[in-house]
Amino acid sequence: EKILIVGAVGGGATAAGQLRFYNKDAVIKIFDRDSVMSYAACGTPYAIGEVIEDEETLLMADPEQFKEKRNIEVYLRHEVMGIDREKKNIQVKNLMSGEEFLESYDKLILSPGGTAVVPAIKGSDTADIFSLRSYNDMLAIKQYIESHNPQSCTISGGGFIGLEMAENIKELGIDVHLVHKSDYIMSILDEDISREIEKELLLNEVHLQTNAYITEIDGRSQTLSNGGVLETDFIIMSVGLAPNVSLAKDAELEIGETGGIVTNDYMQTNDPDIYAIGDASENFDLVTGEPKRVPLAWPAHRQAYIVAKHIIGEPIAKKGLLGTSIVKIFNLTAAMTGLNENKLRELEIPSVSLIHNGNSNAGYYPDHGKLKLKIHYDPNTREIFGAQCLGTKGVDKRIDVIATAMYAGLTVDDLQALELCYAPPYSSPKDPVNMAGYKAD
Ligand code: FAD
């Protein structure tokens, strides 16, 4: 059996490894147009901020290792240009030599990820503008900072990457202006949680403007939609991610309403010999069953496993996604799972929200921190729709417990009966998750 994979990072490299683990004989080849593979994209903001001192630790593998240890052939700087579904081959271009060739497949896995959205703004060519999507993007930003010694930066977009970059660039001693188009940052969070993050940014002297975006650029000067003008040395655009679906579209694979490649329970596209995984794939929401695209590392890795199991004939159906996610902003951590207030309102799902304001661990223990836990649930069936948590400590475990409860179909009332670990440095005899369960009415 011959399996070809497009994309050698999050989903692609993982799928190849999983397949080799289960099938020692298959021919497995991976193509990526980039010059590096299997790197930890999630670590790149921290390499820019020098929290991670040696950026090469983000590189998990290279083609030689893949060949030697796993007998997987990886072709970097090779772009897949087209798919011939009838003949079951792909057209590949060697970007170094310009040579093109065809490669046949029995199964094809698409894990092409996404591309950072960079809006066309007048005067863009007069400024130093970056976005952060890949390892090489990270190197470009690092090299720029080292060679130009900039004093100030504008970050456009207050989502995950924008916030991580704001923190890391600020930690380098560079003045940071963050502009965000809508009313509050981090649209996947509820407004009250986002507002707390905004306070943390201000506390750390990140200059924030919401309801603002860059309309024109002239060298170091940026005109904003609110009439303001910023003068900074460079710009980072972090306004979103467009899934790379042109290859799939050209091959007439179905693209869904989220802009991702439609997949079934086993990550097959509408062509059963072609799978799509990772940021470019469309899946469904665990709570509503609606189409959902979650461009995060957990889904990419999970889907890689589901594809490998399907190809070896031991199928496991995928489950819906909750979009469980977490972000660090200086001393604060915010995490969420499931539906947020806006989504519940938009879908007109009757729900109530409870808020538990407590401590991360015993209040008498020196390093405890305040913790806010919010749960949205159905007042009748008691189904948990989603949760959000904010604090300085222990935020991840509360959301992880609730995400687990949601997968298990537990109700909000069941949360009081969970026996969770406790000693003063970690929690309280009644954990915040238990407290939320007691408080639900
Ligand atoms: P990618 O890992 O992006 O890989 C896609 C690859 O396909 C690319 O290398 C691309 O060159 C290649 N490709 C595309 N088209 C072609 C073609 N036609 N021919 C050949 N090659 C092609 N997720 C989290 O869960 N937590 C985090 O903290 C987190 N932090 C992040 C921070 C940053 C700065 C970034 C950029 C991402 C972060 N993510 C995080 C997201 C996570 O990295 C992605 O969800 C994950 O990498 C998706 O895997 P993928 O295989 O779909 O795409």
Ligand 1 pocket test: which of 14, 36, 42 has the largest number of ligand atoms within 8 Å of its C-beta? 42
Residue 170 Cβ contacting ligand 1 at under 6 Å: no
Mean pLDDT of 240-264: 98
Residue 111 Cβ contacting ligand 1 at under 6 Å: yes
Q: How far is the CA of 146 from the centre of ligand 1 (A)?
A: 25
How are the residues of the chain apportioned to helix, strand and coil, as percentages rounded to the nearest 5?
A: 30, 30, 40
Mean pLDDT of 137-163: 98
Within a 10 A sphere around the Cβ of 406, how many other Cβ atoms?
A: 21
How far is it, in rounded angstroms, from Cα 275 to Cα 268?
A: 4
Residue 131 Cβ contacting ligand 1 at under 6 Å: no
Q: How much is the pLDDT for 191?
A: 98
Residue 82 Cβ contacting ligand 1 at under 6 Å: no
220 pLDDT band, cuts 50/70/90, is very high
pLDDT digits (tens, 9 = 90+) for 155-187: 999 999 999 999 999 999 999 999 999 999 999
Residue 58 Cβ contacting ligand 1 at under 6 Å: no
Q: How far is the CA of 420 from the centre of ligand 1 (A)?
A: 35
Structure token pair of residue 184: 């509050």
Is position 42 annotated as part of the catalytic site? yes
Q: How much is the pLDDT for 71?
A: 98
* β-pairing verdict for 207-209 and 175-179: parallel
Q: How much is the pLDDT for 316?
A: 98
Mean pLDDT of 85-111: 98
Residue 42 Cβ contacting ligand 1 at under 6 Å: yes
Flag whether pLDDT at 61 surpasses 90: yes
Mean pLDDT of 405-429: 98
DSSP letter, residue 279? G
Q: What are the DSSP calls for 175-220, one per residue?
A: EEEEE-SSSSS-TTS-HHHHHHHHHHHHHTT-EEESS--EEEEETT
Q: How much is the pLDDT for 257?
A: 98
Mean pLDDT of the chain: 98
Residue found by looking up tokens 């496991």 in the block: 316
132: enclosing H helix or E strand: none
Among positive and negative, which fits the CA dihedral 159, 165, 168, 171? negative
Q: How far is the CA of 7 from the centre of ligand 1 (A)?
A: 9
Ligand 1 pocket test: which of 4, 9, 52, 78 has the largest number of ligand atoms within 8 Å of its C-beta? 9
pLDDT digits (tens, 9 = 90+) for 354-409: 999 999 999 999 999 999 999 999 999 999 999 999 999 999 999 999 999 999 99
Q: How much is the pLDDT for 209?
A: 98
Q: How far is the CA of 150 from the centre of ligand 1 (A)?
A: 28
0.95 exceeded by pTM? yes
4 pLDDT band, cuts 50/70/90, is very high
Residue closest by Cα to atom 1 of ligand 1: 113
End-to-end Cα separation, the chain, in angstroms = 56
- Helix and strand counts by DSSP (H, E) for the chain: 11, 26
Mean pLDDT of 431-435: 98
Give percent of the chain above pLDDT 90: 100
Ligand 1 pocket test: which of 76, 188, 261, 296 has the largest number of ligand atoms within 8 Å of its C-beta? 296
Q: How far is the CA of 112 from the centre of ligand 1 (A)?
A: 8
Give percent of the chain above pLDDT 70: 100
441 pLDDT band, cuts 50/70/90, is confident
Structure token pair of residue 146: 């080292």
Q: How far is the CA of 32 from the centre of ligand 1 (A)?
A: 11
Q: How much is the pLDDT for 96?
A: 98
How far is it, in rounded angstroms, from Cα 295 to Cα 164?
A: 16
Residue 93 Cβ contacting ligand 1 at under 6 Å: no
Structure token pair of residue 281: 């794939």
